[in-house]
Amino acid sequence: MEHTEYDARARWSQPLRVAGRRVTKQRLAILECATSHPHSTADELHRHARLALPGIALGTVHTVVNDLAESGLLRRLDVPHTGARYETRITDHHHAVCTQCGLVEDVALPHTQPACLDPTIVRGMKITVAEVLYHGLCASCAGSLD
Amino acid sequence: MEHTEYDARARWSQPLRVAGRRVTKQRLAILECATSHPHSTADELHRHARLALPGIALGTVHTVVNDLAESGLLRRLDVPHTGARYETRITDHHHAVCTQCGLVEDVALPHTQPACLDPTIVRGMKITVAEVLYHGLCASCAGSLD
DNA sequence: TTAGATGCAAATCTTTTGCAGTGCG
DNA sequence: CGCACTGCAAAAGATTTGCATCTAA
């Protein structure tokens, strides 16, 4: 548990440099929190990162998270009724959201590329990412009578 | 152009009543604006609705739009870096967003239901809606050198 | 008549911005 | 050492809430 800082540095230094970004303890902490707590909002990342880095500012989290999403190190998820959410698992999965409690789950699709996710299906735009968002009730919300 | 109020009433009274909602001029105006200007934010709907209904409050637009989305008369779209967007075309299409300028376009898929959009593909949740979001560059942004 | 809707304003929440100081490379 | 990055605080933007008033049914 004391190796976290070291591990984060080992894991993210290279990708950060490749993206032309500096390796700061704030960025390492945010990347680490986004890995251990996927689908976190900026505020949640801030709360988690503060445990390891008490001085980190919420504004910094927003700035960093925007920057890292733009440079491809973070994936951004826009979920109804909550702020943006972030994760370090970038590819090969989609998301299901509970319309009642807001729970987000990862959804992996069969490995054969579905035709509807082929970028060329959209005419007149250069599509680079196609993602599926499922809306419904999670197990516990579906169980609760209402 | 003077028939708009009448047409909106004719079109939406029934669905509103079925959803257990009252037929007010504010709701009619918002539904009409969401139809003629799809993918509008609450603020944009407010500006448009104000042309026909100068007194309508932005707070009311938010309240109504939330309520109508919940009751299924409006579809809500969460697009990166803009607020929520709304439209009256509920089914049978998906969306493509320009990551540069924010343009939203409708995308229709071939009529055969793609396997990846089958709700049962998600285990442990009762999925009711599956939608695809495409991210990329629109024609004009792709054209602009940068 | 009356429960549901609206208008308005204040409160809340999220995100952005400007600037001075800090630290990575 | 220089420039990118951070901390801080203020501003901007989006959405929600409470309450008095209004109105569709």
- pLDDT tens-place string over residues A51-75: 999 999 999 999 999 999 999 999 9
Record: contact B115-A119, CB cut-off 8 A: no
**Which residue of chain B is at minimal alpha-carbon distance from A128?**
B136
The rounded mean pLDDT for chain A is 93
Best mutation target among B123, B134, B138 (most A Cβ atoms within 10 Å) is B134
Q: Give residues lining strand D (CB < 7 Å).
A: A 21-22, 24, 26-27, 53, 55-57, 59-60, 63-64, 67, 81; B 13, 17, 22-25, 41-43, 58-59, 62-63, 66, 82-84
The rounded mean pLDDT for chain B is 93
Q: Give residues lining strand C (CB < 7 Å).
A: A 16-17, 22-25, 41-43, 58-59, 62-63, 66, 82-84; B 20-22, 24, 26-27, 53, 55-57, 59-60, 63-64, 67, 81
CA B109 to chain A, closest CA, distance in angstroms equals 7
What is the tens place of the pLDDT at every residue in B72-131? 999 999 999 999 999 999 999 999 999 999 999 999 998 888 999 999 999 999 999 999
Q: Domains of chain A (ranges plus CATH)?
A: 3-79 (1.10.10.10), 92-144 (3.30.1490.190)
Record: contact A80-B80, CB cut-off 8 A: no
Rounded-to-10 torsion of CA A63, A27, A133, B70: -50
Q: Spell out the SS3 assignment of chain B.
A: CCCHHHHHHHHHHHHHHHCCCCCCHHHHHHHHHHHHCCCEEHHHHHHHHHHHCCCCCHHHHHHHHHHHHHCCCCEEEECCCCCEEEECCCCCCEEEEECCCCCEEEECCCCCCCHHHCHHHCCCEEEEEEEEEEEEEEHHHHHCCC
Neighbouring CB atoms inside 10 A of B42's CB total: 21
**Which residue of chain B is at minimal alpha-carbon distance from A132?**
B132
What pLDDT is attached to residue A4? 59
Which tokens hold the place of B135?
């991210």
- For residue A92, the SS3 value is coil
Record: contact B105-A116, CB cut-off 8 A: no
Neighbouring CB atoms inside 10 A of A51's CB total: 10
Sites in chain A below the pLDDT cut of 70: 1-6, 144-146
A80, A119 in Cβ contact below 8 A?
no
Record: contact B134-A119, CB cut-off 8 A: yes
Q: Is the pLDDT of residue B60 over 90?
A: yes
What pLDDT is attached to residue A54? 96
pTM (predicted TM-score)? 0.92
Cβ neighbors of A16 (< 8 A, separation 6 or more) are A22, A23, A27, A73
How is the beta sheet containing B40-41 ordered, strand by strand? B40-41, B84-87, B75-78
Record: contact B121-A109, CB cut-off 8 A: yes
SS3 content of chain A, % helix, strand, coil (to 5): 40, 25, 35
Which tokens hold the place of B63?
């309240």
Q: Is the pLDDT of residue B5 over 70?
A: no
